[in-house]
Structure 1
Amino acid sequence: MSAVAAAAPANGEAPAKPKSRKLLFIIIGVVVLALIGAGTALFLLKKAQSEDEEDGTELTAEEEHAAPLRDPKTPPTFLPLDSMVVNLADPGGNRFAQLGITLQLADAKTGEEMKTYMPSIRNGILILVSQRTAEQMLRTDGKQALIQDIMAEISNVMGYDYERPGAEPAAQGKKKKKAAPSPLEGVLFSSFIVQ
């Protein structure tokens, strides 16, 4: 074979260059283009997915209140608070209210967590009640407003998100981390005396 290889250049013909180098450049080019295409597709898919999560998966206020936090087949947990006696905001300061409050919670775990915040919760409730007059406390709409205020106060102390029923949703322009919905399902009065 060496004689044939040596004879070929003697004839004046240049030896044929292997096409492998040209083929190698073509393969490398195709692989690089495929990687760039895959990277671009992945980037666009992730961007579209993050936009969908921001826009499409948020529940409206009505949907949040309609979706229960616990399984409806399981009973709620009740956490009774110690009885409270509070001076009311009537002129003269001679009116007071004695309240027995029980909190309705989604689960027992929340009740245990809430016990660690109980001094702050009681303080917030006492301040809310002390800002009301006897007339406000005796009206049905005043009691309902007090319940909503207590739920908002407890949710705030615990770090949960709470929107009052019928209230307009928060401004959509601001992007802030949304807190978990409040597992506080209700505020029940076990005693309600105004004197």
Structure 2
Amino acid sequence: MADNKEQEQAQEEEKEAGGNKKLIVFIVIALLLIGISIGVTIFLMMGGDEESTETEQPTEPVKQPAVYQSLDPPFVIDFNVSGRQRFLQVNLTVMGRDAEALEGLKKHMPLIRNNLVLLIGGFEYQSLQTEEGKEKLRESITKSIQEVLEKEIGKPGIEQVLFTNFVMQ
């Protein structure tokens, strides 16, 4: 009987030791899982910050839509060609992307129109009959308007001038 008691005590001690080992393994596994979940969370949060900083910085500036402003009424310029009176009627439209500059264009329209009448009248009538002459006139008009706007509002304001009607008689 003494042997049976000793065997029972040994079995109980083994059960207690086995139970303690199971508890230690369970705790270690739980700590590992918690550590892994914290690590993954931190990694994902840091990765999210990098993506958001990349999307916040635009790769190139956004181009504003073109806005057109007609210079009404049409310009009518007279030319004296070999003793005969000739006329040019031209409708102009300016293209820009800055609303403030187009407001400046409207505000300074009398000065701009005066400069353009003098500029167009200074061209040779025959040169305006060629494609090159018309292109040179268009570039000169664009430059003249940009100079006025640069002086008055501090920026050129328009990109180009377009002929919407060009009649020579």
Q: Specify the TM-score bucket, using the shorter chain as the normaliser.
A: 0.5 to 0.7
Paired residue type of 1:88: F
* Structure 1 equivalent of residue 141 of structure 2: 150
Paired residue type of 2:110: P
Q: Which moved more, 1:123-132 or 1:95-104?
A: 123-132
Contact persistence 2:150–2:157 (CA under 8 A): no
Unaligned runs of 5+ in 1: 1-69, 161-178
Unaligned runs of 5+ in 2: 1-60
Paired residue type of 1:189: F
* Structure 2 equivalent of residue 186 of structure 1: 160
Paired residue type of 2:127: Q
Instruction: Please give the alpha-carbon distance, in whole angstroms, between the structure 2 residues aligned to 1:113 and 1:80.
Output: 14
Contact persistence 2:96–2:158 (CA under 8 A): yes
Q: CA RMSD, aligned part only? A: 2.0
The CA deviation at 1:89 is 5.0
Contact persistence 2:96–2:102 (CA under 8 A): yes
Number of equivalenced pairs: 107
User: Structure 1 residues 181, 157: closer, same or farther in 2, change over 3 A?
Assistant: closer
Contact persistence 2:76–2:89 (CA under 8 A): yes
The CA deviation at 1:155 is 1.7
* Structure 1 equivalent of residue 116 of structure 2: 125
User: Structure 1 residues 131, 93: closer, same or farther in 2, change over 3 A?
Assistant: farther
Decide which structure has the larger Cα Rg and report it: 2
The CA deviation at 1:84 is 1.1
* Structure 1 equivalent of residue 78 of structure 2: 87
1:75 is aligned to 2:65: yes
> Hey, which bits of structure 1, 4+ residues long, moved more than 4 A?
none
Higher relative strand content: 2
Using the aligned pairs only, state the percent identity. 29
Higher relative helix content: 2
User: Structure 1 residues 113, 92: closer, same or farther in 2, change over 3 A?
Assistant: same
Contact persistence 2:101–2:149 (CA under 8 A): no
Paired residue type of 1:186: Q
